[in-house]
Amino acid sequence: MRLSLPAAIAVILATACATSRPAPPPPPPPGGLAPAPVATAPSAAAASELSRLRAAPASTPPARSAEAFEKLAGTFPTSAEAPEALDEAARAWMRAKQPARAASTWAELLSRYPLSPRAEEARIRYGLAEVEAGRPRQGMPTLLSAWEQTPPAARGNLALRIADAAEGAATWPLSARWRTEALPYLPPAEKQRETARVLDVVATKLSPQEVEALATEVPKDGAVGVALAARMAAKTQVVAGVIGVAVPLSGKFKAWGEAILEGVALAIPEGGPVRVVAKDTRGEPDGAAEAIAQLAAEGAVAIVGGVTNAEAQRASATAQQEGVPLLSLSKVEGVAEGRPYVFRLMLTARAQAQALADLAVQRRGLKQAVILHPEIPYGTELQAAFRLEVEARGGAVVRAVGYEGDRANFAPMVKELVGRSQVERRADWREIQKAITKEIQDPYRRAKALEKARKELSPIIEFDVIFVPDFARTVTLLAPALAAEDVVIACDPDAVAKIQKVSAWVVKPVLLLGGNGWDDPAIVEKAGRYVECAIFVDGFFPGSERPATKRFVEAFQKIHARAPSILEASAHDAAAMVAAAMARGATGRKELRDALAAQQPFPGATGEVVFDAKGEPVRDLFFLTVDKGAIRELRPEELSGTPATVP
């Protein structure tokens, strides 16, 4: 039967007193150096107050008791009762489920009163509290020093106490390590129970890397050592040439899953050395976790999937837990961060913002940007990312205007943007009005003159970039509104010169930018001439002349008689990367993970791709524009060129 903590500590203390090994120095209080030890003497007033607080009703909230004991220690800091009060306060903080406060209070006791009879017991309690507070690095040195001095009769209890604290802090490797350490000191029934708990942690909580680390610290011939060896073997055992696909094959995202399978099939045709096994995620977090766990158990060397926002994080977490490489097709940020077995291929808001800001600010030297964005997740995420990237390159967002996602009339918004909605605030208009009033006496003629002057009032263009992170449907309404207020988007110097000839002000062309939501034939059909010279980006463009992209599109169209989307293209690249790594000799999961992390630029349908240290794709996006009634990819020389100016 497990001893109570006081009993276990009593045995530890008895042994500690009999040993010549010096106790470790007391920990300093949080946030500073340890104060000089305080000499103490008994105090009748402090003893009376301590007795009163200890006699408080059991119904007193433990946090209130802790504060009262701490106040006593602060009021009588040189009394022999002060360390006792701090110990009582720390125990009360533990009852209040505030182990961090308890650890801080015990640390103060050890720092200020290291010679107190309470110090040895407080040292162990301090270590346990730090572990329970989720700070095992702070608590473990103290507990390890106690462990070295602990006799066999108490070692099992101390180890289990450490394991319990680590488990409470969800520090699972530490929990498994110390529960295993306790096993030799436990009676048979308890040993069997604790062994089962360790095996459950190993099977459900530890990553492959944590399993490997634990295996080096426990006996290989014990039940835990055998289980660890089996877990490592299971995690690395693969079925030769099997790639898993975990995607929605039912539910509202079924079409996405089918598109991904079409892309994978083009990279890995049937009958070859590599076989594809698909599992349905239903587009749900639990479904994704189940599908990836099943594929890992069935020996897949790598998995393609994790596509919907809802399933992205669970898919990545499960793949990391199972130790199987996942090529995620999610656009959710951060799915690969801190997960060496996860790589991402899908286009993100950040990647688009980086590409557009690099083009506008760094390549073309345009520093003043305006953002017009819908107040929907797509728009707000892109506008925030673009702002950060522009400012990181030395530019500035001078205006950011949000609008309803279903807005249809943009004339008032654009008029306000260029200073034509409230002209009375403009100094140049007041001067024009004053001159006309003075020159023309006839009211009718004066009104006509003022009306004409108002229409000819120049737009105020105090920016050189407009970014619209919206979809084509809305852009076809917004772009004509910009043209109606004389915001010039033209990029051809001759076209700008023609506009200048009929304008009473100096024409300042503006670069109009968009995200992948613009990549839609509707933008040409409904807004053609208003968006010519605008530039937008995408992670894939079926009309590209890039050799790898062109080969993929032609092969896909031959089978399906339609153009592929970014889903099919990204899935194709993911599967092709895995197949290429396998062809180079990567047969196990770790070998394949290492091959993906170190691969040279892979010529895929979505561009030449490498992965950075965080598992994120590094590649050149597709810069697109509208030209002569069609969407086309910009040529390299166009990307490095400057915008049109008046000759």
Q: Are 519 and 631 in contact (CB under 8 A)?
A: yes
Please tell me the distance from the alpha carbon of residue 386 to that of residue 55, in angstroms, as a whole number: 63
Burial of 252 (0-12, 13-18, 19+ CB in 10 A): exposed
Q: Please determine, for residue 482, whether its predicted confidence score (pLDDT) is greater than 90.
A: yes
SS3 state of residue 236: helix
Helix axes 119-132, 99-112, angle to 10 degrees: 150
Buried b (16+ CB within 10 A) or exposed e, 177-203: bbbbbbbebbeeebbeebbebbbebbe
Phi, psi of 493, rounded to the nearest 5 degrees: -55, -35
Please tell me the distance from the alpha carbon of residue 605 to that of residue 574, in angstroms, as a whole number: 10
Enumerate domains of the chain plus CATH numbers.
5-218 (1.25.40.10), 237-345+542-615 (3.40.50.2300), 350-420+457-538 (3.40.50.2300), 422-448 (no CATH)
Residue 315 Rama label (left phi>0; alpha psi -120 to 50; beta): alpha
Please tell me the distance from the alpha carbon of residue 298 to that of residue 269, in angstroms, as a whole number: 20
Residue 564: which of 576, 552, 574 has the closest Cα?
552
Kindly state the tokens that stand for 316.
């990545």
Kindly report which listed range (2-11, 296-305, 520-529, 636-645) carries the lowest average pLDDT score. Answer: 2-11
Q: What one-character-per-residue DSSP string does 82-97 give?
A: HHHHHHHHHHHHHHTT
Within 8 A by CB and 6+ apart from 370, the residues are: 397, 398, 399, 400, 401, 417, 463, 465, 466, 467
Which has more confidence, 619 or 239?
619
pLDDT for position 643? 52
pLDDT for position 36? 65
pLDDT digits (tens, 9 = 90+) for 124-146: 899 889 888 888 778 878 887 77
Place of tokens 């839609």: 520
Which has more confidence, 24 or 107?
107
Q: Are 156 and 38 in contact (CB under 8 A)?
A: no
pLDDT for position 21? 39
Place of tokens 């001159």: 435
Q: Are 611 and 599 in contact (CB under 8 A)?
A: yes
pLDDT digits (tens, 9 = 90+) for 195-250: 888 888 887 787 777 877 888 888 887 778 887 777 666 655 667 789 999 999 99
Q: Please determine, for residue 121, whether its predicted confidence score (pLDDT) is greater than 50.
A: yes
pLDDT digits (tens, 9 = 90+) for 312-361: 999 999 999 888 999 999 998 889 988 999 999 999 999 999 999 999 99
Phi, psi of 640, rounded to the nearest 5 degrees: -90, -10
pLDDT digits (tens, 9 = 90+) for 433-447: 888 888 888 888 888
pLDDT for position 14? 44
Which H or E run includes 601?
A: none
Kindly report which listed range (34-48, 63-77, 141-155, 632-646) carries the lowest average pLDDT score. Answer: 632-646
Q: Please determine, for residue 18, whether its predicted confidence score (pLDDT) is greater than 90.
A: no
Report the DSSP pairing between strands 396-403 and 465-468: unpaired
Q: Are 103 and 126 in contact (CB under 8 A)?
A: yes
pLDDT digits (tens, 9 = 90+) for 45-86: 999 999 999 999 989 999 999 999 999 999 999 999 999 999
Which has more confidence, 212 or 415?
415
Kindly report which listed range (195-199, 425-429, 466-470) carries the lowest average pLDDT score. Answer: 425-429
pLDDT for position 236? 56
Please tell me the distance from the alpha carbon of residue 371 to that of residue 467, in angstroms, as a whole number: 5
- pLDDT-derived band of residue 5, with 50, 70 and 90 as boundaries? very low
pLDDT digits (tens, 9 = 90+) for 493-529: 778 888 878 877 788 899 999 999 999 999 999 888 8
Residue 383: which of 394, 392, 371 has the closest Cα?
371
Identity of the amino acid at 247: V
pLDDT for position 128? 87
Predicted structure pTM score: 0.67
**Strands annotated E in 221-361:** 242-247, 275-280, 302-305, 326-328, 342-344
Output the 3-class SS for 361-428. Answer: HHHCCCCEEEEEEECCHHHHHHHHHHHHHHHHCCCEEEEEEEECCCCCCCHHHHHHHCCCCCHHHCHH
